[in-house]
Structure 1
Amino acid sequence: MGYPIVLHLRGRRAVVVGGGKVAARKVYGLLEAEADVVVIAPEAVPDIEALAAKGEIVWRKKTFAEDDLAGAFLVIAATNDRNVNEAVAQAATPGQLVNVVDDPERCDFHVPAVVRRGSLTIAVSTEGASPALARRIRRELEEQYGEEYGPYLQFLRKARDIILREMADDAARKQLFRALAADSFRQRGRWDEELAQLLANEKERNGERGRES
């Protein structure tokens, strides 16, 4: 059983060995995480070629060698040759996180199927048992959690700062956080207006409790 985490890769080197469609999918995911991506492959699909041409990744047009992993924090072996993938796994040094796409047992981590809605990240993993099932569940989640969750999370981040600044009472803060996270609140869409009203109501109640004491 794996231990689920969200890994921050901004500015860290990620080496992808392979230039096919699977490798391209891995590259796109790493770029979303703002990793410093290096691809090792003698040939590559047009998507990888285009990313390299735009300077978004480094593409080393060569077969894999051990020193290609120098400085890498994360390594993905994504070729269609099991011998090459095994060579990548063998070349990795302690401290480098390795994923071999065709061999779950050789992986330090598995890449989940991901739904992103702004700051909301929902990941589905079968630990390599069935990527197809993970993708199906991801599609269901994409329908359940629509694009509106992006701006909603932006609002919640701003609202949290306001509540922490303006409300000193812990119980009142928790009550407000629960109210803002309610699905009915999100669906009504009057987020700023209702936040202002909730804050005013809570401050009034706190004032009344202060006078009573």
Structure 2
Amino acid sequence: MIASISGTVKQISLTSVVIEVGSTGGIGMLVHVPSSLAATLVLGKNAELATTLVVREDALTLYGFESSHARDFFELLQTVSGIGPKVAQSALSMMNEVELSTAIASGDNLALERIPGLGKKGVQRLILELKDKVGSTSQSHAPAAQLWRASITEALINLGYSQRESDKAIDVVASEFGAQVSAQPVAELLKLALQQLGRS
């Protein structure tokens, strides 16, 4: 298992990055990442990701995450019947692992049905098979639900916006959702914050 990767970010797309590794460089590793993570990475800067290698008969695919906890949750999602790495990656692009844990533990079908490729039956299986496994995790991480704000702030600053601009845009987005803001997908909140900055 390739447990982590560290190096210079050479390319960034919506759902993948190329990281140049090795002391002399020249070797670029393609790593598939959640879109919310891709938005926080910066070309030319060093990045360290927790990774897992998915082995299939016709391909070897490396997936990367912000933390080992996110990687472990990615692997947990794939223990559910019908959920493969692409759907698991989509899930972590829509919500971080704390938000997913909370949605699964509380049986929030509406939030989970937003995940591309999952569908209503997939949501039912997800809740049925993981509810007991993530229940204690979501409760112990409940205060971390505010991580959405830190994640979006970091992404906006990496995109060139100031702390003040970022805070102002995030405040507007937060006011639109009120108490439900932490239940929204991080990727969607980031998109709305960028739209707000585009208007200012």
TM-score, length-scaled by structure 2:
0.24
Q: Which has the higher contact order (CA 8 A, sep 6+)?
A: 2
Identify, as 1 or 2, the structure richer in helix: 2
Which structure is larger by alpha-carbon Rg, 1 or 2? 1
Query: Normalization by structure 1: what TM-score?
Result: 0.23
Higher share of residues assigned strand: 2
